[in-house]
Chain A
């Protein structure tokens, strides 16, 4: 079955090409449904590959399918090759699975858009790139996908490009990600120059066997992490992700929550042996950056009023959690949380999209309220997503978050506290969101005229094609935790499945206090989530306390504004200065020399252009004569 691996990316690629040519003629909704069939087909093939791998003994669950030699030069051999192993198939399963749902949802969401088919062309192209990213057998194939998803993200963020903010946000996302790409590229150079290869299996084997010196391993790991900081929106490169919400909501759900932004986590897991072979400070840096990002973004989410901005900062925060896990050696937990997060965050984004759709493109939560009666399915599924992310048992997010906290406690108690505070804030701001949107007083009529609706405006529930994905994702958000339950070793399904990739690098916590007292930690997590939820209820539902939403949090600690000032002020001045030097000094020297020569030569002004002209003409004649002679001599 693994022979069919190439079909995985082939379906969406063909879909994109077909839509490129026939998209407009297919029209709405046919182009959307056609596009949706592509990830569904890929999903079915992935299932076949999955069961094929499952039927083999654990150590044989890895197959490379080489399509062709890509860049063979000298000692450099790079193939366009795909790798099927537990990690890549896990990624492919949820990319195609969630991707299919979001394609279907978008058929409803993008209804009436003049560029309907183009949207689906980009979505197909995205799924193709994302699959190349995770299926790559070497760093360069992954990088092909890595840049491909970046380009698609750029296309889709600026999809409604006539809005200036959307055009700017798209560009910002691409350029910020390029800063991260600098890291990935130099990591590849370094790997090739020390090992002569950039294939994962060879690099990881060198890391295992000790052939890769710790200093090189550290450098490679940290450079890759720079790339991960860009793609997975970590401090200080996260800046693009909140702005990326300018894109249509299905894009936010698919790319900027469930799949693309987790590429960094995937890459670090794929290269976990290298991180394992690094100096101790490398994982520590990753854990600290992750924890800092998690906490920072959670504080910002508390004070956002845009329904999607809350979820955007929440995503940044949850990604921080995953890197906290990576830095603590909890690779399985990171992947576990990546998957459950994909379920509930896609659900929340799609739910918010349903709200925005029903509210006629209103995104300000202060103008919502009491929507649960008018949008029952959206409300119920959103509430399930809320419980999952807030860490309420037995929803999916509870188990994965707890798994991470367990490892973090074993690794570093200070970071554990940071993780707990983040969990508290998460429960708090998500409860705030649910109350503002679905409970309380209806506030939409006060502002109805602002968004083009008339006096009798009533928000409405979304069409079935949008609700179906919500229901499926809600179901997964309820049961998703079952893939890795903490109670007995036997229930660690995901851990056993991923063992060939993570086993040797995974932190061993079996003998720690944390492991022996994991039920205490579980209890602490439940208490923290409850406190967060109750606090938000007290503030936003009961009005017992005044909401604390200082401007500094609303403005994300002024980091974005500061960065913009830096780029727009000294940055632009420097660039302008260089351009000025070029025009006036470097070129000035040239023109000055010319003037000098002319004056010394005593040639009169008039001569200058005429002189060159006739000189050129003379040259032409001369050369023709010379050539004629040449040919004559040659023949004779």
Chain B
């Protein structure tokens, strides 16, 4: 029995299960096909990812705006004696991440061809999609862990087999680093379930049940929180656990980088929210100052490190450290605006940084280099490409009217009340974002093109359409974020109420109630 499904939407079909299983079936089918049938393999992969994407959009359309609880819940008991179940559900916090996953994968599969061995590449891609979907949809701790770990495997092979010069080093580092983090979480998950048994009366891995019914001793809760948090902090990545990221990003094939930045990193921030804050409210409040500090260090440090990179892809990778810092800050500031902004920014960052990696990939395809010093003057020879890059860059910088600003602004204005001085320092990061991106733009696009860059081809129709999807999302979300905010906010508020109920935390009430209507 679930306490919070009173208003949940249900459909005749097991929608969420399909979202996870379809890509998995696709992966299996692709791996069973004859690798000589390149066209058919691609078609199969495309169909499975497209149908999954279409279903995720269908889910978005059916998702009732203004509802806080989990929707489309599907629950099947698995290992009854241990209380493990196939338990999926979606709420405002995961909704757009699921849609982003559903849309991003087909785009990557259509838009970017691997250089060799298409069959295993596509199979790993689809398995990756299943893992990511599962992670965002799982409401069972054990199930979540399974998906969280599954993701590592395809990513490892994608980097290791289709990556660049130092791919093996980067893949190994990614794998071991993340595994090490997950080890803590596995212990944490098992301990959480067994300790919660005392309060609940039976063993269960059901997230909602544990969160609502458990009552951990202060010290216990904090230890468990830390165990979870280590795994998520590596994934985000939070300073100083971030050094796997520049290597993994830089060495991954373009498709891998887009997925890595687009959705994989969000499993960390999502996990912090869904498991960290939800399961351990007291520990969340206890750890807040440390997490704020690490987030803000990440914002400045990531930006500074990005500024000095000589490799364009590495520069974009470091910018993720800074951007994810904003999200972590908003997550733990625990106000309606900061959390809504944080969830929104997870999606925004996926769109803009995904697009940036896509374009860096396009540059590499054309020039076979990522070194900023070897590029230059591209705006003169490929103005449309430069125009796309400019829009995406401005979104990443946080220009009002584009998506990045909405999330960043909501995070900062919401966190100001509960994390004032951290916000003041974080706002300085806004200056640095302009510095590293504009400087990179100047060196890559401005100036007179050298001989090698003179023949830089303008984007093709396929590339233009692909980037057009990203830019459309960037502009629409920037100008009219309301539909998105309306769907995120109720779930976020519910989470804050949960924290308020179980601790002495009170979300600061804005004095707006006194003066807010004065101007009308």
Contacts and interface: CB of A to CB of B under 8 A. Distances in A.
A73 B410 contact: yes
Interface in B306-350: 307-309, 335-337, 340-341
A179 B432 CA distance: 9
Interface size class of B (residues with CB under 8 A): 35 or more
B282 to A, nearest CB: 23
Contacts of A193: 413, 416-417, 420, 508, 510
Contact of B78 (A140, A199, A575, A634): A634
Contacts of A33: none
Given A71-B409, A196-B513, A630-B78, A171 B438 contact: yes
- Greatest chain B CB density within 10 A among A154, A164, A178 is at A178
B297 to A, nearest CB: 11
A616 B158 CA distance: 12
Nearest to A199: B519
Interface stretch (B50-58, B191-199, B393-401): B393-401
B515 A211 contact: yes
Given A167-B447, A196-B515, A206-B515, A578 B438 contact: no
Nearest to A211: B515
Interface string A176-203: 0011011001101110111111011110
B175 A616 contact: yes
A73 B336 contact: yes
B448 A71 contact: no
Interface string A602-636: 00000011001100110110010011001101100
B401 A144 contact: yes
Interface in B349-404: 377, 379-380, 383, 394, 399-401
A182 B21 CA distance: 47
Contacts of B335: 74
Interface in A115-167: 118, 140, 143-144, 147-148, 151, 154, 158, 161-162, 164, 167
Contacts of B76: 633-634
Given A148-B401, A161-B379, A185-B430, A633 B511 contact: no
Interface stretch (A275-283, A481-489, A552-560, A582-590): A582-590
Interface string A10-49: 0000000000000000000000000000000000000000
Nearest to B79: A633
A118 B379 CA distance: 13
A516 interface: no
B515 A197 contact: yes
A75 interface: yes
B24 interface: yes
B511 A196 contact: yes
Interface in B418-468: 420, 423-424, 427-428, 430-431, 434-435, 438-439, 442, 445-448
Interface residues of A, number: 75
A170 B437 CA distance: 13
A interface majority secondary structure: helix
Contacts of B438: 154, 170-171, 174-175
A192 B413 contact: yes
Nearest to B302: A582
A526 B274 CA distance: 72
A167 B446 contact: yes
Chain B CB within 10 Å, residue with most, of A69, A179, A612: A612
Nearest to A80: B479
Given A579-B305, A586-B243, A590-B244, A616 B86 contact: no
B519 A197 contact: yes
A68 interface: yes
The 6 A-B residue pairs whose C-beta atoms are closest, nearest first, are A196-B512, A74-B336, A201-B519, A196-B510, A167-B446, A202-B519
21 contacts: A73-B485, A75-B513, A76-B512, A144-B401, A154-B438, A161-B445, A168-B442, A179-B431, A185-B412, A189-B427, A196-B513, A197-B519, A201-B518, A205-B518, A578-B301, A579-B305, A579-B307, A586-B242, A609-B168, A612-B172, A620-B127
